[in-house]
Chain A
């Protein structure tokens, strides 16, 4: 094949290869710390939801989301918490809630929405809820927010 050489993994022959971890700033918190923090946040979110404070709950879960290596469990916990918020929000409230988030929180929310879309059937995920949030979020935060989901290596 003429184009077969294009499939050779040339990085193997390079001693100075750029590693995945070098592409983002390392998480200053260790995996154990992240996990306990995420569990605390899940409790805080439950009490906020009980009071009907959806935007407050969303603010908590989108602050300092877990990222980096070896934090899979924390990521799953955080995602479960977020999905519970997304599912319990009335669709008429979404636009105002999305507007009240900071730009960083909007970016994190968009990351979570795309992660959710990438794993259909996971937990209580519902495609129509995700798309509803995605539409409202894009109207407020624009395509730039989606671009940042693609570039940011600090995946949620």
Chain B
């Protein structure tokens, strides 16, 4: 069984992360107005450059793999496109920013390059998405806004593989599919299951989970024929527009906030539950396969501890050390604060049984091709960056049955 690669980047939350195409560098923001470029040296990530141009918190970063450009979005209502150019004085390669005119009056919340990397979409609190394309005549990025029909902050976006359709998750509890067709950039798109004629701002679909909740994360399947979204009611909904079917999986844990497809029939979701979970299914039904995280043992200290993993007897986060501490205090009048208690729960120990010790902010594909992703990366509020093997979920599902193969 393969262990996840765990990197402790900082003691502060990592709000977002994006790897370079060769995976030797990563851009991330440590909950501040600066983005850092880290490169891998041995088993360590070292800061090689700091991108300081934003005035306020950076909310999202994306790194275009083919054209090697970084785009950052921030609460200061701006986005910058960063390109690597030789510095005039030293001749060394350095990242230089270009301001994008977003014309939004609220924070930018999320940004993603389109598959062809000739456009990017910036979601914002101004109930709009700015779709930006490069205008070579004026030599800057211009934005066209998708305004209707958002009723609240747009929290996430994802591009369809055809470079035209855009999925958006919003705080008005809906996930939508819209056209972001720009005449100067795009050729006429082929008809898709989402629609045939697709002028700019065509609304192809509006979806919601019955029990509501902000839509935190959206993602198209590798073919683009299905859409999955995670909302704050602890559900994942997969929409198949071909047959008017949508499948909702109700989770027993805290809500997921981010998700990515690993195959046409599988996706990984992560969020407030602190562990990435693999889901598998098709139009007729989806199920949780298992966690990519081995939650049967604490991560830092040795020894085993009470508590069962995903799919075990206990559900949700009710098996954390902190929970056990309070349960012992309640049911047995036993205070384990200050002294080691029974069951091996350490004194004042609040360590979770997961790798991430706090909410996972972002899960992204790391290795493989779309449709067959073998590794995913996550970043969390605990300052950790982790690379997971997707196949670990099957291995752990077997382990829970008592099989030990190492």
Contact = CB atoms under 8 A, between A and B. Distances in A.
Interface of A: 16, 18, 22-25, 103, 107, 138-145, 147-148, 151-154
A139 B315 CA distance: 7
Contacts of B152: 18
Interface of B: 151-152, 172-173, 208, 210-214, 231-235, 250-255, 314-318
A19 to B, nearest CB: 9
Interface centre among B214, B232, B233, B253 (most CB of A within 10 A): B233
Contacts, number: 75
A151 B233 CA distance: 6
B254 A143 contact: yes
A143 B250 CA distance: 11
Q: Chain A: interface secondary structure?
A: helix
Given A16-B151, A147-B255, 16 more contacts: A23-B173, A24-B173, A107-B211, A138-B316, A138-B318, A139-B315, A142-B318, A143-B317, A143-B318, A147-B232, A147-B254, A148-B235, A151-B231, A151-B232, A152-B233, A154-B212
A152 B212 contact: yes
B208 A140 contact: no
B250 A148 contact: yes
Contact of B234 (A139, A144, A153): A144
B151 A22 contact: yes
B212 A143 contact: no
B133 to A, nearest CB: 27
Nearest to A17: B151
A94 to B, nearest CB: 16
A152 B211 contact: yes
29 contacts: A18-B151, A22-B151, A23-B173, A24-B173, A24-B212, A25-B210, A107-B211, A107-B250, A138-B318, A139-B314, A139-B318, A142-B251, A142-B252, A142-B318, A143-B253, A143-B318, A144-B250, A144-B255, A147-B233, A147-B234, A148-B234, A148-B235, A148-B250, A151-B212, A151-B214, A151-B232, A152-B213, A153-B212, A154-B212
A143 B316 contact: yes
The 10 closest A-B pairs by CB, nearest first: A142-B252, A144-B234, A142-B316, A151-B213, A142-B315, A143-B316, A151-B233, A152-B211, A144-B251, A148-B211
Contacts of A22: 151, 172
B315 A151 contact: no
Nearest to B248: A103
A24 B235 CA distance: 16
Given A23-B172, A23-B173, A152-B211, A144 B318 contact: no
Given A143-B318, A144-B316, A25 B252 contact: no
